[in-house]
């Protein structure tokens, strides 16, 4: 019975550690958001998009061409 409880503990322990870690990270994110909100939006500037046109790369063009080809059975 001790062996079974030990195996159960070994299986459950990583999940518990992950849950504790996620809660700590969530708490840190909430504190950072509250801290940012308290400072106000004094220095904020509107984000501007790039004026460059977006052209797909050669790799993207090649991959799209390969995906669109039909398989031919002989």
What is the C-alpha separation between 31 and 38, in angstroms, rounded?
Answer: 11
Which structural domain range is residue 14 located in?
1-35
Q: Is residue 2 part of a domain?
A: yes
pTM of the predicted model over 0.95 = no
Provide the CB-side half-sphere exposure for 65 (13 A, CA): 7
Q: What is the pLDDT along the chain (74 residues), one digit of tens a residue?
A: 999 999 999 999 999 999 999 999 999 999 999 888 776 555 555 556 666 666 666 666 566 666 555 555 55
Q: Which pLDDT value is given to residue 38?
A: 72
- When divided into structural domains, the chain yields a total of 1
Long-range (24+ apart) CB contacts under 8 A made by 42-45 are: none
Q: Is residue 30 part of a domain?
A: yes
What is the C-alpha separation between 72 and 65, in angstroms, rounded?
Answer: 15
């Amino acid at each position: 019975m001790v062996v079974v409880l030990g195996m159960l503990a070994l299986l459950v322990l990583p999940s518990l550690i992950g849950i504790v870690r996620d809660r700590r990270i969530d708490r840190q994110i909430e504190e950072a958001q509250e801290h940012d909100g308290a400072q106000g939006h004094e220095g904020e500037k509107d984000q501007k998009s790039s004026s460059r046109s977006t052209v797909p790369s050669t790799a993207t063009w090649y991959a799209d061409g390969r995906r669109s080809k039909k398989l031919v059975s002989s």
